[in-house]
Amino acid sequence: MTNVEVFGVAADGSEVQRISIERDGLRACLISQGATLQDLRLAGHNSPLVLGYPSLQPYLKNPNYFGATVGRFANRLKGGVADIAGQPHLMDRNTTEGHHIHGGHDGTATLNWEVAEHSSTHVQFETRLADGHMGFPGSMDVQAIYRILPAQTLEIEITATTTATTLCSFAHHSYFNLDGGRTIDGHRLRVLAGEYLTVEPDGIPTGDIADVINTRFDFRSGRSVEPSNGLDHNFCLSDQRRDLHPAAELTGADGRVTMLVATTEPGLQIYDGQGIGGANAAGLIGTTYGPRSGLAIEPQLWPDAPHNPLFPSAELHPDDVYRQVSQFSFTQPA
């Protein structure tokens, strides 16, 4: 039976809904604020699989974007500027270095989405972004659909259409911690990518597509996630969006839970949470989160694409439909 409840009141006075969906021992709790995955639990496993909060208040700021749907342009856009359909545009600059990130200060992670439909195994959120919102051209209709599929799989589908050529790159922004530890140290990560994007100190890609061989970014055979990795980088899965394909595998330090990630997206931003902080609120584990409490694994297009012609294009045209699908599947050893 679907569980729907009022989770609180958003900044605009609207009610924030919380919907629980479940199948085959996997249970997800979603909130309309930010179209956010608030909690994720696996039967037989005591701790939550994602970072989140038991109450609404921390989500009204959510500086770490826990579980949110971020856009209309995920990740970084250098200087907040881009030529779109041959015309220069200035987008909202919301980083200390003067760049645009995750849709701007009023991006989709900050909005209270509409619950369009739901069942015991799925929920669909919808929102509309006005023409000019955060500087982007085109009115945009966006849907984020969460489904629990058989075999303990969470599927996230994000679609969008626009009335004018615009930039469009959404990402789901959960932080995963599969063993309930205070940090993700000792988690084992495998990434099916032979290349990654080098970045400047402010996180903006240099434009170079580098080989992972003989670098700390070579996770092809799997390696432990440690502070020395210094992860906040895009791994290049392909040079264009394609059919759903395996992308990564993450196992908790205790070896009790493994998560398999598949996606349609050409990029996978992996961030080790070194900057987590800013919310003095107890999380799902009952204590506050700190640096490296979780690992963000974000399927998306490559960051700063408009300034790099060799990157997959982030332009969306009025006659097209943006669609990305990602699946997070969980297994436990017998």
Q: Exactly one of 99, 100, 118, 298 is catalytic; name it.
A: 298
Residue type, 212: V
Query: Cα(60)–Cα(259) distance, rounded to whole angstroms?
Result: 29
Contact 145, 47 (CB under 8 A): no
Residue 278 confidence (pLDDT) = 74
Can 173 be counted among the known catalytic residues?
yes
Closest CA to 118 of 7, 32, 229: 32
Q: Which pair of structure tokens corresponds to residue 241? A: 């969006």
- Per CATH, the architecture of 3-331 is what? Distorted Sandwich (2.70)
Residue-range domain boundaries for the chain = 3-331
Report the alpha-carbon angle 243-329-314, nearest 5: 40
Q: Exactly one of 102, 173, 187, 233 is catalytic; name it.
A: 173
Contact 188, 251 (CB under 8 A): yes
Provide the whole-model pTM: 0.97
- Asked whether the CA dihedral 284, 23, 184, 97 is positive or negative, the reply is negative
pLDDT in tens, the chain (334 residues): 458 999 999 999 999 999 999 999 999 999 999 999 999 999 999 999 999 999 999 999 899 999 999 999 999 999 999 999 999 999 999 999 999 999 999 999 999 999 999 999 999 999 999 999 999 999 999 999 999 999 999 999 999 999 999 999 999 999 999 999 999 999 999 999 999 999 999 999 999 999 999 999 999 999 999 998 899 999 999 999 999 999 999 999 999 999 999 999 999 999 999 999 877 789 999 999 999 999 999 999 999 999 999 999 999 999 999 999 999 999 997 6
Query: Cα(60)–Cα(159) distance, rounded to whole angstroms?
Result: 24
Contact 85, 165 (CB under 8 A): yes
Can 172 be counted among the known catalytic residues?
no
Residue 277 confidence (pLDDT) = 84
